[in-house]
Structure 1
């Protein structure tokens, strides 16, 4: 049983809550591993169609990484920490075949913002504060922050936010494309669930292929258009495609088998 996260279901939507309120839900190695394991299990489950990640309490989504774990590391140990974190959680979230929605409540700093950015869709409560303050500690973001922030907000904005260590509010995050929606804190989880359930009505097979094609467009050495063509063609061999097109022609709602 995981110690630092809570897992619950809302129909076919799985909700993962990071539960270290005394540490403002800071990411330590154990929490990173637990989240990664939970995402892998949800991705493999036939019963889960979408995933929401949020933080417990009202103060923080994730206030950052647990600095006490690596304050005395050397360069080799730090490289290994970054590599292991990427492989065990951040890349797992980004490449999950089920849509992963970040419901950002309160602070999302450092590794917390990096986790949110690895998700496919981001919602923020109107009290959210986001930033990558690593340069104030003499280090840079090590869990994908330099790459994903530039992809989402553009190179110039990423340069500014990372080098100034500026913290921005939810409205500014929405303006620069860092989050999809801003809600009140009371509405945050319900809005995330509403989006997740809307996703769940569509073909899970097609959604998984769409996620892969979109992600491939941001990978070095991968032609996103080629990936789209391959995934598009593969859809035609699926039971979901047969059901979707048949339902359309018969003027009824599809009942996708997820195969």
Structure 2
């Protein structure tokens, strides 16, 4: 039996795909969660990977957490589950590489929370998003109550969390949840193309991501310190020399970067 999460490479230089593959609907159980954690750790340590696409295949992104696991839970088990799932999704969020979720069909519950942990979301026109936990007498436990308001604003997020309703691809685009909507069969190729553009970028992309992530929730003076540190670090990169030399000799947009 194949792993429920695997790392795929070769689609484009510097791009890796985190492929979810647990029949029938990529619902997370503890084994799949731990497998995702292992794959994310491997990606984080691989300097040859500069951009990552997260994809569940053409039939479903991830339809949440396996609800059967919840039936015997008491408070202690629920807290332990939420802490672990949050830790894994936070590891996704803090990957040094640029991350893009390519969503076909359902991204519900924990699947939606995984997509929210990515920096960008590209949707097929068949995509459906939602946090239906409230309909089970529960609430999101993998960051949904925190990342969704940061993505679309607190009032809109509360409406989606409180009702548990589904959002189709067009509404998700209007809300700013997804960067683009494509015909279903083009969602993954579009995400790969986007990832390839980032993978061809300079090492300063990672530093820009670090500055934004570190500064986002801090008071402005502290956030500016994160930017200052990242800006200074950019001057230690090989790509800094390549970019400046190319600009001075050939004008903007002509540099070929190494990612170092």
Counterpart residue number, 2:125:
126
Structure 1 unaligned regions, length at least 5: none
Partner of 2:21: 19
Tell me what 1:84 maps to: 84
Matches of 1:150 and 1:229, distance apart in 2:
28
- The count of corresponding residues between Structure 1 and Structure 2 is 255
Matches of 2:130 and 2:112, distance apart in 1: 7
Q: Displacement of 1:183 after TM fit?
A: 0.6
Look up the match of 2:139.
Answer: 140
**C-alpha deviation, 1:221, in angstroms:** 6.5
1:80 & 1:158 partners in 2: Cα distance? 25
RMSD value over aligned CA atoms?
Answer: 1.7
Instruction: Please state whether the residue corresponding to 2:255 is helix, strand or coil.
Output: coil
Runs of 4+ in 1 over 6 A off after TM superposition: none
Q: Secondary structure at the match of 1:21?
A: coil
DSSP-derived class of the 1:142 partner: coil
Residues 97, 207 of structure 1: 8 Å contact kept: no
CA contact (8 A) 1:20 1:56 kept: no
Is the CA contact 1:5–1:35 (under 8 Å) kept in the aligned structure 2? Answer: yes
Alignment partner, residue 210 of structure 1 = 208
Instruction: Determine the C-alpha separation between the residues in 2 that align with 1:202 and 1:72.
Output: 48
Asked if the contact 2:50–2:259 (Cα under 8 Å) also holds between the matched residues in 1, the reply is: no
- Structure 1 counterpart of 2:65: 65
Q: What is the distance in 1 between the residues matched to 2:54 and 2:241?
A: 32
Partner Cα separation in structure 1 for residue 46 and residue 26 of structure 2 = 26
Q: How far apart in 2 are the matches of 1:233 and 1:116?
A: 31
Partner residue, 2:229: 230
TM-score calculated relative to the size of structure 2: 0.92
Structure 2 spans left out of the alignment, 5+ residues: none
How far apart are the structure 1 equivalents of 2:179 and 2:104? 14
1:217 deviation in Å? 3.2
In the alignment, the residues of structure 2 paired with residue 56 and residue 71 of structure 1 have an alpha-carbon distance, to the nearest angstrom, of 28
Write the deviation string for residues 98-157 of structure 1: whole angstroms up to 9, x where unpaired.
011100100110000000000011011111111101111111101000000000010000
- Determine if contact 1:64/1:112 at 8 Å carries over to the other structure: yes
Contact 1:7 1:14 (C-alpha < 8 Å) held by counterparts: yes
Report the equivalent of 1:8: 8
Q: Tell me the distance in 2 between the aligned counterparts of 1:49 and 1:146.
A: 29
Q: Quick check: 147-156 or 24-33, which moved more? A: 24-33
Find the counterpart in structure 2 of residue 240 from structure 1: 239
Partner of 1:54: 55
